[in-house]
A = this chain, B = another copy of it.
Amino acid sequence: MMMVRLAAAASLVALAGCSDPPRSWQAQDIDPANYQLTVIASGLNHPWGLAFLPDGAMLVTERNGAVRLIDGDGNLQDAAVTGGPDDVFAGGQGGLLDIVLAPDFETSGLVYISYSAGTASANHPALWRGRFDGQGFSGGETVFRAVPDRATEHHYGGRMVFLPDGSLVLTLGDGFAYRERAQHRDDHLGAIVRLTHGGAAPEDNPFHAGGGAAAYVYSYGHRNVQGLAFDPQTGVLWSHEHGPRGGDELNVIEPGVNYGWPVVSQGIDYTGARISPFETLPDFPEPVHVWTPSIAPSGLALHEGDLYVTALAGRALHRLELDDQGRVARETRLLTERGQRLRHVLSGPDGALWLLTDAPDGQVLRLTPAP
């Protein structure tokens, strides 16, 4: 396996001695000779999410509003899947976002899609679900709508995972213009929410007693969270989020915790202004890993014990090898030679890594060790 070979090389570097977690600028690029990349599909409009169906087919979301089917032979169907969300606001960073199957998909047929709903002047992240019959959706309904509406088209978050207890965690964002609201737990700007499969607030959510919007909040103080991965071995929920200029963060998400944006950040504003004088504060968790300059992390997968992070601005796939304390022991980069903005990474049921590129003619890629 490629990963095994690369891990052996990593051990030699680790022996050379380096106690602090490496920063991204120290990341070594992996020689493309070590891996094999296959373009499975092309011509997708900013593909954002991908779900593997039990029969080997895949559903892919396109940001401009369509759901596409790639059949079990790897052929992208021309016609969009019918019956998906019908109130999509596709503009800026908004549109159809992530797609995941219900844990009981084989019996229920339920598929969940995160998206932005509304208009340019009043929109919000939302969660939709519908039954997929192999051709189209039926019985679609929007089961959760984040509050309040925003007048921006940025920072929707959008990644989803189901936890082992059947609840669904959905990442959101601060709406770019509303960053101070990330500190408020009585709305969904800058929050990660946890929902029942029907889109309600589980009673064991940390602020359920607060009622209203707070009942849905799982963690807060986030900027724009577009990476989420649950490790069933350790029970750790990993996420990453876009920093401002610098300060992209990898975090371990715990219920009820305030992750500090915009009070603490290791990045600065796009204007060069400081957002806050505080890079860290004792009462806010420090990120597990920070990327400065920003790589714009867009997707996260756990694969063979390592974390994989796709980067938009960074145009690479970052591999983070973890030590037995859950810290980042080594960071390497793959696919830098391609120079593509990458939107998402998944660990496929076939043992390969699967990737989406971010482009008007985006691709689905399959990554395996060199033969």
Contact = CB atoms under 8 A, between A and B. Distances in A.
A163 interface: no
Contacts of A258: 283
Interface residues of A, number: 14
A332 interface: no
Interface in A160-201: 180, 183-186
15 contacts: A180-B278, A183-B281, A183-B282, A183-B283, A184-B282, A185-B282, A186-B282, A258-B283, A263-B263, A263-B278, A263-B281, A275-B277, A276-B276, A276-B277, A276-B278
Residues of A contacting B: mostly? loop
Most-contacted residue by chain B among A180, A185, A263 (CB, 10 A): A263
Given A180-B278, A276-B277, 13 more contacts: A183-B281, A183-B282, A183-B283, A184-B282, A185-B282, A186-B282, A258-B283, A263-B263, A263-B278, A263-B281, A275-B277, A276-B276, A276-B278
A16 B282 CA distance: 46
Contacts of A282: 183-186
Contacts of A277: 275-276
Contacts of A275: 277
A310 B276 CA distance: 34
A6 to B, nearest CB: 40
A278 B275 CA distance: 10
Interface string A265-304: 0000000000111100111000000000000000000000
Contacts of A278: 180, 263, 276
A276 B278 CA distance: 8
Nearest to A283: B258
Most-contacted residue by chain B among A258, A276, A283 (CB, 10 A): A283
Contacts of A283: 183, 258
Nearest to A258: B283
Most-contacted residue by chain B among A184, A185, A186, A278 (CB, 10 A): A278
Contacts of A281: 183, 263
Contacts of A183: 281-283
List the 8 shortest-distance A-B pairs measured between CB atoms, nearest first.
A184-B282, A183-B281, A183-B282, A258-B283, A263-B263, A276-B277, A263-B278, A263-B281
Nearest to A264: B263
Contacts of A186: 282
Contacts of A263: 263, 278, 281
Nearest to A274: B277
Contacts of A276: 276-278
Interface in A17-41: none
A180 B276 CA distance: 13
A286 to B, nearest CB: 13
